[in-house]
């Protein structure tokens, strides 16, 4: 089961007030209802089908006809078709879908006149046409696909009342409203009251962030190691040039000591090399001192080359 289905299953069980049920159903009908001699709603999500059936029965005391079919192209999914034949006009008017024989492109203000109603409407919107990527995947992405631009602008504005930074674009003959960013998506899940989904989402997000931080640190450390090895190899090449030219003995004693120990310990850092020389010779030398002497050796070898 997908993460989207998990979220829909969770929020479809939420109990609220009658006003919130109406706002939620209004969003569902606006997006998936086909209106003709009767009202038909089609969905592949069994939880949504059950939610519609239960709410219509609870609010309007109407029995909904339900047909279950196998998905197209021999899909394993089932398609749930719900048909409402009684009280059609009354239900559509009450849900603010068709008022005085006029189809409402966007809902009237009174339907969303308080915070709980707005949240309920967004919950119904997600149930009908929403989807969200599992946070385990590479992208944080939540989207809604709607039929027309005016409604897309309305939904985009509604979402941005919560500072979700949502945007919309045209996709083929429909419009997609989308939210990017883990924190914004998590905020949306809180808005539609999906606490279990929020906990799962946040847990995976934290694990991913920690893993990414660890990978960045490891990459940084590996880059430092690679750079240290490359530098040490170049220093040994400089010393080898002096050896091949028979010039090591002409260097002063301090440079000879550094040449000896760098050849002896090719894989250690300058700090480690300074500590080794200090311990083994009894003469203190700093990392900076090692660095300057190796630079001097490089200058000599460069002149020989």
Distances (CA, A) of 127 to 34, 67, 69, 224: 17, 19, 20, 50
User: For residues 255 and 185, which has the higher predicted lDDT (pLDDT)?
Assistant: 185
Asked whether the predicted pLDDT for residue 107 surpasses 80, the reply is yes
Cα–Cα dist 221/219, whole Å: 5
The strand ranges marked E within the chain are 33-35, 39-43, 65-70, 78-84, 98-99, 102-103, 130-132, 141-146, 167-171, 174-180
29-71: pLDDT as tens digits: 999 999 988 899 999 999 999 999 999 999 999 988 889 887 7
Q: What is the pLDDT of residue 92?
A: 92
Asked whether the predicted pLDDT for residue 171 surpasses 70, the reply is yes
Asked whether the predicted pLDDT for residue 290 surpasses 90, the reply is no
Where do the structural domains in the chain lie, given as residue ranges?
A: 7-193, 221-304
Tokens of 63: 């029995």
On whether the 7-193 domain is CATH 3.40.50.970, my answer is no
Distances (CA, A) of 194 to 162, 185, 237: 16, 12, 64
Average pLDDT, the chain: 87
- pLDDT, mean of residues 212-226: 69
User: For residues 202 and 217, which has the higher predicted lDDT (pLDDT)?
Assistant: 202
Tokens of 41: 């709603």
Cα–Cα dist 220/213, whole Å: 10
Q: How far is CA 93 from the centre of its chain?
A: 39
Asked whether the predicted pLDDT for residue 74 surpasses 70, the reply is no
Asked whether the predicted pLDDT for residue 73 surpasses 70, the reply is no
């Amino acid at each position: 089961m997908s993460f989207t289905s998990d979220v829909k299953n969770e929020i479809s069980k939420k109990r609220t007030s009658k006003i919130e049920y109406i706002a939620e159903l209004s969003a569902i009908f606006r997006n998936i209802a086909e209106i003709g001699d009767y009202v038909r709603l089609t969905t592949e999500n069994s939880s949504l089908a059950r939610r519609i059936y239960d709410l219509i029965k609870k609010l309007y005391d109407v029995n909904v006809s339900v047909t279950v079919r196998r998905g197209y192209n021999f899909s394993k999914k089932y398609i749930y078709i719900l048909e409402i034949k009684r009280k059609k006009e009354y239900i559509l008017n009450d849900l603010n879908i068709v008022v005085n024989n006029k189809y409402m492109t966007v809902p009237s203000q009174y339907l969303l006149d308080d915070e709980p109603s707005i949240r309920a409407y967004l919950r119904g919107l997600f149930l009908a046409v929403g989807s969200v990527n599992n946070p385990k995947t590479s992208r944080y992405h939540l989207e809604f696909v709607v039929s027309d631009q005016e409604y897309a602008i309305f939904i985009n504005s509604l979402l941005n009342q919560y500072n979700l930074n949502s945007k919309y674009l045209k996709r083929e003959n429909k419009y997609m409203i989308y939210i990017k960013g883990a924190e914004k998506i998590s905020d949306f899940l809180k808005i539609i009251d999906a606490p279990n989904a929020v906990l799962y989402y946040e847990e995976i997000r934290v694990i991913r962030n920690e893993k990414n931080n660890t990978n960045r640190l490891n990459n940084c450390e590996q880059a430092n190691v690679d750079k240290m090895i490359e530098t040490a190899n170049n220093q040994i090449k400089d010393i080898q040039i002096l050896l091949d030219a028979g010039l090591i003995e002409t260097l002063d004693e301090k440079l000879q000591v550094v040449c000896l120990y760098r050849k002896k310990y090719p894989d250690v850092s300058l700090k480690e090399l300074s500590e080794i020389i200090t311990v083994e010779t009894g003469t203190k030398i700093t990392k900076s001192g090692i660095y300057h002497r190796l630079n001097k050796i490089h200058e000599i070898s460069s002149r020989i080359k």
